[in-house]
Structure 1
Amino acid sequence: MGAIGSVRFGRYAVPLDRPVSDAKVATGRQRPLSQIDVLTCEITTADGLEGLGFSYTTRAGTPAQYAHAKEVGENLLGEDPSDIGRVYERLLWAGASVGRSGVAAQALAAIDVALWDLKAKRAGLPLAKLLGSYRDSVRVYNTSGGYLQAPIEEVKEKAERSLAGGIGGIKVKVGQPDMREDLRRLAAVREHLGEGVPLMVDANQQWDRASALRFGRAVEELGLVWIEEPLDAYDAEGHAQLAAALDTPIATGEMLSSVAGLVRMIDLRAADFLQPDVPRVGGITPYLKVAALADHACLQVAPHFVMEIHVHLAAAYPRDSWVEHIEWLSPLFEERPEIADGRMLVPDRPGLGLTLAAHARDWRLDGVLLGGG
């Protein structure tokens, strides 16, 4: 088996078709989102095998991820890429003084994903098959059509288009300063789609505990699949209280960037649907630890964003999961996910089944090659 001969990191800014706004924008905490910043990692072995991984941020942070990845990346050279656990630990210790969460973990995520992609390619298997899949497709819902800047008629039109294209569920954003407007928009979407369509809402951490409880009680009759991030992402106790008080399931966890943070959510039963995010939590290696504990606790898992990675991990989770369809990163890759009958098909190509698109270079801001010379 060939040792790691070179590592290439790249930093990209992938533009959105138009800016989008959620509750954080509606309440003045953030500006509209206009691009996704991506850190890529391409690992090449001495025998010519390649692995591709990536991380991302939705606003500030990618330059810091890139800087940390470059600093610890030299530790990869000469290592056996199949020894993912040992390599990951070495990288953690290389950056031990900055901890095991946040920017440091997210920099390692791109490397870790590339190592898993490489390992699955070496085995000639899709990543899901390497991990041990339970199914060849996973339930999929769309988020990108339900943002707050869109008039309600546009939200309904996009939801209808998503369902016609094979998507299985629809998520809409809530959390505006006037909760009554949220309820009006949500009622209009439910009436338009009918009772049989799975419908989720996402408040993006907008409410305090009392407001979240009031909203949850007001929408019980709508039969929502879940209410997502009703509270501050780090309020584990509040989410646990809410989950116990409402019939509608609670979903959260996407913002947590450490295994410890997600384990606390599991221990407190703070979510019915746990939403870990591979690039945010530090890669596939820590994600698998969280998933094992979530399954032990009999929780559903609905990983956040990056469907290109999460379709594999959802297929390898014992309970039938949801994957989030947001097409913002699709232009970065040559391949597109296959969706039919409410489900996303697991790619049958080795590894993640992804290659960087030729035109991605137009969005490249920086890059460095370690080794290879």
Structure 2
Amino acid sequence: MKITSIRQGVVPISSSIANAYIDFSKMTASVVAVTVESGDGRSATGYGFNSNGRYAQPGLLAERFIPRLEAVGELPAHADGGFDPIPAWTAMMKNEKPGGHGDRSVAVGVLDMALWDAAAKLAQVPLWKLLADRYNQGRADEQAWIYAAGGYYQPGKDVDALVEEMKRYLGLGYSVVKMKIGGSPGMGLREALLLDLQRIEAVLKLLDGQGHRLCVDVNGRFGLHAALSYGAAIQGFGLRWYEEPLDPLDYSTHATLAEHYAPPLATGENLFSMLDARNLIRHGGLRPDRDVLQFDPALSYGLVEYLRTLEMLREHGWSPRRCVPHGGHQFALNIAVGLGLGGNESYPEVFAPFGGFADSTPVENSRIRMPDIPGIGFEAKSDLHAVLRDL
């Protein structure tokens, strides 16, 4: 099998929303289309993109990674009718020094996604089934647990508007929701904490006081003092998790927080390699019986690296069920179902058209079934497919 065409573009996903650390007024995403032809006349075009929070990478794609991918000769065919993307991934990483996991992990992840989409299409199976058959002894979950991520800061958005947003998510079939905290501008710690407690309590009231149905997300804004102060204030709510309260690379401070905050913590969406993930597991003080790992395959060199990360986790006593990827995209959803992860994020109202899943797959009690179509399933999400098809 051989790659015959690679195309890339940049799509704006800008909006007026903000989390505790950044706003999304100038956010962009890279999109790619990779066409692969087989020796027997079959062909498939796979699509890829980077998930939110990291900008488009047209320069890295054009200067380094697309030329290396174009130079790949034959792709090794697989017995299922597809091909093995791992040698292509290896070719893309040729002459890349260790370390420096950042924007290049995003560029490689975009192309990796497209290769897996094409491989599953040539095998004429959904990606989740291809992954289950190749890597999980044929076992795939019947459905995936998902939660609605939102609750962003926005000009003029008060507590009532936050509650109305969460009501909409419940109406869409989600039973677990997530909101942002720690982002009130111009406030001292005490004042911001009091406001966030009002916001949290208002949403908890909507959820009948069931803390396990609510996650809160700081997006890495706090230092240790603020993280401990917030942790002490919310500890009694029984929240599903307290997400990314600290800088993602400050492992020793995570360990200190974990000593003082007993309920579940969640982090990892801004770690982009197996080695960074391993440092978190070794030194971050996280607890494999309760904490949640949010590594995003679309941002961290793609599925090839994610497979290495899952193997590392097993070696350190962690179950794949503790993994709930960031990003809210169909690629991670296929991985969650095919490899037995704990679930996946979802963005019902933001980051269109990349957020959300196939049009014909309703959410029921925060669970979703996968469409039975070849590849990742972008063709079943009409607004996203319209963007990708332009390539």
Note if contact 1:126-1:351 (Cα within 8 Å) is conserved in structure 2.
yes
Determine what percentage of the aligned residue pairs are the same residue. 25
Q: How does 1:1-373 map to 2 (within 5 A)?
A: 3-16=1-14, 18-24=15-21, 30-33=22-25, 35-46=27-38, 47-56=42-51, 58=53, 60-67=55-62, 68-80=64-76, 82-93=83-94, 95-97=95-97, 101-132=101-132, 133-144=139-150, 146-149=151-154, 150-176=157-183, 177=187, 178-196=192-210, 198-271=213-286, 272-296=291-315, 297-299=317-319, 300-318=322-340, 320-328=342-350, 330-331=352-353, 335-336=358-359, 337-355=361-379, 357=384, 359-360=386-387
Q: CA deviation at 1:69?
A: 3.1
Of Structure 1 and Structure 2, the greater strand share is in 1
The 3 A distance-change label for structure 1 pair 59 and 110 is closer
Note if contact 1:11-1:66 (Cα within 8 Å) is conserved in structure 2.
no
| Cα deviation 1:95-150 (Å, max 9, x = unaligned) | 42586622222211122112222222222221111111441211111113x01223
Q: How far apart, CA to CA, are the structure 1 residues paired with 2:68 and 2:98?
A: 12
User: What TM-score does the superposition give when structure 1 sets the normalisation length?
Assistant: 0.85
The 3 A distance-change label for structure 1 pair 104 and 71 is farther
Q: Which amino acid aligns with 1:92?
A: M
The 3 A distance-change label for structure 1 pair 34 and 192 is farther
Query: Greater relative contact order (Cα 8 A, min sep 6): structure 1 or 2?
Result: 1
Q: How far apart, CA to CA, are the structure 1 residues paired with 2:73 and 2:182?
A: 47
| Cα deviation 1:327-350 (Å, max 9, x = unaligned) | 545536994353222112222111
What SS does the corresponding residue of 1:79 show, helix, strand or coil? coil
Q: CA deviation at 1:267?
A: 2.2
The 3 A distance-change label for structure 1 pair 212 and 234 is same
| Cα deviation 1:210-230 (Å, max 9, x = unaligned) | 211121111011111111110
The 3 A distance-change label for structure 1 pair 267 and 250 is same
Runs (4 or more) in structure 1 with deviation over 6 Å come to: none
Q: Which amino acid aligns with 1:122?
A: L
Q: CA deviation at 1:35?
A: 4.0
Q: Which amino acid aligns with 2:181?
A: V
User: What TM-score does the superposition give when structure 2 sets the normalisation length?
Assistant: 0.82
- How many residues matched? 354
Q: How far apart, CA to CA, are the structure 2 residues paired with 1:34 and 1:151?
A: 23
- Unpaired runs of 5+ in structure 2? 78-82, 133-138
Query: Which residue in 2 is equivalent to 1:27?
Result: none
Q: How far apart, CA to CA, are the structure 2 residues paired with 1:249 and 1:182?
A: 19
Query: Which residue in 2 is equivalent to 1:371?
Result: none
- Unpaired runs of 5+ in structure 1? 25-29, 368-373
Note if contact 2:2-2:75 (Cα within 8 Å) is conserved in structure 1.
yes
